[in-house]
Amino acid sequence: MSRALTVKRKGYYAKRGGKRVRVPKTTFKIKDRGKPGRTPKSEHWFRPEIETGWLKTDPQAVRIKNLVKSHKGDLLAAARSAQALANVQKRINPSVARKARSDAKALFRAYKKSKKR
């Protein structure tokens, strides 16, 4: 339902390269992007594209193994998905956020170590 908005800009003078130039008035259309700073409800929650099988009740080794397995061995992608989960859960469920953040840190360390080889 995004509709076009008409923007009317006044003309003004500006300094360009030490000279005073006239910027003419103009009218143009832009896409309506909603209220400034407002996130649409459809984008409020984290929706992972890959089902990881990450459970807060599992031990860290199992959680990391599931993350890496779901991302087909890509340590960086697994770390980023754990970090995204931690970012979303930070205010809602801090204990889950702490576990996800520690998993992400461990995966980033493992990625860095594997990259050095």
pLDDT digits (tens, 9 = 90+) for 22-53: 999 999 999 887 777 777 666 667 778 889 89
pTM for this model (two decimals): 0.62
Measured CA to CA, the distance from residue 3 to residue 20 in angstroms comes to 37
Measured CA to CA, the distance from residue 83 to residue 101 in angstroms comes to 6
pLDDT digits (tens, 9 = 90+) for 66-98: 999 999 999 999 999 999 999 988 888 899 999
Q: Where are the domains of the chain?
A: 51-111
Q: Are 61 and 19 in contact (CB under 8 A)?
A: no
What are the residues whose beta carbons fall under 8 Å from the beta carbon of 26, sequence distance 6 or more?
8, 9
> CB neighbours (10 Å) of residue 115?
9
Residue written as tokens 């209220």? 35
